[in-house]
Amino acid sequence: MRAGKMRHVIELQSVATVINPAGTPVETWSAVGTFRAEVVQQDAREFLKAQGAVGEVAAVFRIRGLVTVELAWRVKFRGEIYNIREIGGLDRQTGLELRCTRIEEGS
């Protein structure tokens, strides 16, 4: 993995459940860290669901370093949120490959 390709900045976020003032549990996302990343692939597909057309954007992010990432986390990239679907190890010296999807429901 070449440093020149790591030109994008992503934020990894984890979820925690907190109790709001009304006493109801609420899921809250917080930043785990900000990382330099290479965006390997980004594509969009559209398919039909019972509620209507759904557009799905898939992206693959490569990050460097000895980072522990969980599938329950998500990626924030350019203001958009991506769910992590798969984590692949390139190797421990080079980093991880995060396969993610962002789903937007349309009419």
CATH number at residue 18: 2.40.10.370
The whole-number pLDDT of residue 68 equals: 85
Query: Which two structure tokens, joined as six digits, stand for 11?
Result: 């934020």
The whole-number pLDDT of residue 29 equals: 94
Tally helices (H) and strands (E) across the chain.
0, 6
Q: Which is nearest to 47 in space by CA: 38, 58, 62?
A: 58
* pLDDT tens track for 61-80: 999 876 789 999 999 999 99
pTM of the predicted model, to two decimals? 0.78
Number of domains in the chain: 1
The domain of 23 spans: 3-105
List the chain residues with pLDDT less than 50: 106-107
